[in-house]
Amino acid sequence: MKNYEIDATWHYHNGTKHPNGMLLNRFHVFHPSHRPTPYKIYKNTPSISLPLDKNPIGISTLDAVSTTGSDTNNTVPNIETLSRVLYFSSGITKKIKFPEPLGEVDFRAASCTGALYHIEIYIVCSDISGLDAGVYHFDPKQMKLDTVRLGDFRRSIIDATANEPFVKQSQVMLIFTDVFSRNSIKYQSREYRHAFWDCGTILANTLAITSIHNVPSKIILGFVDSQITQLLGLDIKEEAPIAILPLYTSGQETPLCPPVPDVNLEAVASDYEIEYPEINAMHEASCLTSEADVSAWRHHITRELKEPTKMIPLATSIKSEEPLEKTIIKRGSTRKFSLESITFEELSTILNKTTSGIDSDFISQDMISDIYIIVNAVDGLESGSYYYAKEKNSLEQLRKGSFRNASGNLGLDQDLPYDTSITVFLMVNLDRVLKQFGNRGYRVAQLDAAITGGKMYLVSYALGLGATGLTFYDDIVTNFFSPHAENKETMFLIAIGKKEKST
Ligand SMILES: Cc1cc2nc3c(=O)[nH]c(=O)nc-3n(C[C@H](O)[C@H](O)[C@H](O)COP(=O)(O)O)c2cc1C
């Protein structure tokens, strides 16, 4: 099976490394005036306005983020809940005016590389209160659902996931898709990494908002790609389904699927026709092509454990009652950090609350990535480099010293990782993941790390701190944390610290 020919992933991953990956053109420039429309616009299709109540329901961000999908009671979502789930995942939360040619830009609930917003959300549901069974597309600009198909098509997803037990019982399924060119216009072939980074930050919000509504969920990455593409009517060269999040288990039998003819809807997907064949090649190499392949692919991985030495136990978490909705609305990537310290209690809370793991078809209530940290300024903790020994709830010091210069350098020589209090690197033994999951393990590894990164954004903001995702020089990060990290690749980087106060 092509999925297990993992040279394809190494070709893509090594080729898209900064600074000299051979699949990246160093001289490529992106002009902001070429920013594509950041959402899909369906023409001439009936739409349903989404009722929206943004008021907090009173659950704290810290509780929301640390609850995993299956911890929650089982409450059926209605259109009001669905609307909140969509808004607090990917809705427009603020507008900022920039000088022309950019002008006013809509910013969204979750962070996204370059604010290009290449992840779309589709909904496949049975009849729920306020919404007929159908396949819909979420339009964040108008806060409405575009009708793609009417009827109960859940069986088609159940088949595509080879009867995955949670999917089989779900009444509402969210499908996250990636419009390649909307992000590759700036980031070239590295876009395919961003697909999972930017889907992961959205999913961190989705998991938190569904958990406060007591709606259980499970992340599904094993499915026959072509079946989902056909159901949603996607242009196979331009857009791909990358994750499914079934919600709520009904215990009821799902009816047989109506016929699934081709979707004949006109949609403006992107203003530019840009092709990066390496993205399509990486995507195709990680596709599963039959239900038998999906069944064979689906199994849980366990974390690789490393016995830590010289452990520093984490402090007890700080209490913060800030409600989730408030944190999401105020979140925004920090553009300038002060050089001030955060406290050891704040760092401990960030680690405690974001590492409870996820429920998915590749891991159960755990996470795959390992966490490496450069501590630039934390009261109560010596500056240096650290490994987070999750099982021991402790930090292991790898090297002590002032590594601000290294921190700035690893984060692509930007000021943000230099000025920040800590830089957090989510790394995995990619070879081990690929040997288990084939090329599709690349999707697994990237998404797993990005969800934790997205949770870190939320917890940092709930604590009154700032945070920003960052890109990085791949191999220099591995070298910096070696020998401890010598077989690991960086999947996600986030800087956390105090925001510089505007004068
Ligand atoms: C994975 C990831 C990587 C990012 N990398 C950088 C970066 O290298 N430099 C930077 O200034 N901002 C970076 N950002 C921040 C984005 O530019 C920011 O999320 C986007 O402009 C949307 O703004 P918001 O997060 O304030 O909503 C990154 C964000 C993410 C999620």
- In DSSP notation, 119-157 reads EEEEEEE--BTTB-SEEEEEETTTTEEEEEEES--HHHH
Distance from residue 186's CA to the centre of ligand 1 (Å): 13
Q: Are residues 73 and 194 in the same domain?
A: yes
Count how many domains the chain has: 2
Protein residue whose Cα sits closest to atom 16 of ligand 1 = 113
Locate 324 and state its tokens. 């989730």
Tens-digit pLDDT profile for residues 172-206: 999 999 999 999 999 999 999 999 999 999 999 99
Is there a contact between 3 and 293 (Cβ–Cβ < 8 Å)? yes
Residue to probe by mutation, ligand 1, list 201, 333, 335, 407, most atoms within 8 Å of CB: 333
Long-range contacts of 302-308 (CB under 8 A, 24+ apart): 302/363, 302/366, 303/366, 303/367, 303/368, 303/390, 304/370, 304/429, 304/432, 305/391, 306/370, 306/387, 306/389, 306/484, 308/387, 308/389, 308/392, 308/394, 308/396
Distance from residue 279's CA to the centre of ligand 1 (Å): 21
Q: Are residues 116 and 211 in the same domain?
A: yes
Q: Are residues 127 and 205 in the same domain?
A: yes
Mean pLDDT of the chain: 95
Taking the C-alpha atoms of residue 295 and residue 163, their distance in angstroms, rounded to an integer, is 8
Q: Is the CB of 197 under 6 A from ligand 1?
A: yes
Last residue of a domain, one of 266, 297, 328: 297
Distance from residue 310's CA to the centre of ligand 1 (Å): 34
Protein residue whose Cα sits closest to atom 22 of ligand 1 = 115
Q: Is the CB of 470 under 6 A from ligand 1?
A: yes
Distance from residue 407's CA to the centre of ligand 1 (Å): 17
Task: Supply the CATH number for residue 141's domain.
Answer: 3.40.109.10
Taking the C-alpha atoms of residue 395 and residue 348, their distance in angstroms, rounded to an integer, is 9
Q: Are residues 290 and 316 in the same domain?
A: no
Average pLDDT estimate for 17-27: 95
**Which ligand 1 atom is nearest residue 335's CA?**
11
Residue 421 C-alpha from the chain's centroid: 23
Q: Which domain holds residue 260?
A: 2-297
Residue to probe by mutation, ligand 1, list 113, 328, 425, 426, most atoms within 8 Å of CB: 113
Query: Please, which pLDDT band fits residue 305 given cuts at 50, 70 and 90?
Result: confident
Residue to probe by mutation, ligand 1, list 92, 107, 458, 468, most atoms within 8 Å of CB: 468
Q: For position 33, what pLDDT does the model report?
A: 85
What is the 8-class DSSP label of residue 484? T
- Which region holds residue 269: left if phi is over 0, alpha if psi is between -120 and 50, else beta? alpha
Q: Is the CB of 113 under 6 A from ligand 1?
A: yes
Tens-digit pLDDT profile for residues 117-158: 999 999 999 999 999 999 999 999 999 999 999 999 999 999
Q: How many CA atoms lie within 13 A of 159 on its CB side?
A: 14
Q: For position 387, what pLDDT does the model report?
A: 97
Q: Which of 72-76, 323-327, 373-377 has the lowest mean pLDDT?
A: 72-76
Q: Is the CB of 192 under 6 A from ligand 1?
A: no
Q: Are residues 152 and 116 in the same domain?
A: yes
CB contact set of 351 (below 8 Å; sequence gap of 6+): 314, 371, 388
Which of 418, 409, 419, 381 has its CA nearest to residue 499?
A: 419
Q: Are residues 249 and 373 in the same domain?
A: no
- In DSSP notation, 201-232 reads HHHHHHHHHHHHTT--B-BB--SBHHHHHHHH
Tens-digit pLDDT profile for residues 250-301: 878 899 999 999 998 988 766 677 889 999 999 999 999 999 999 999 999 9
Distance from residue 470's CA to the centre of ligand 1 (Å): 6
Last residue of a domain, one of 275, 297, 319: 297
Distance from residue 346's CA to the centre of ligand 1 (Å): 22
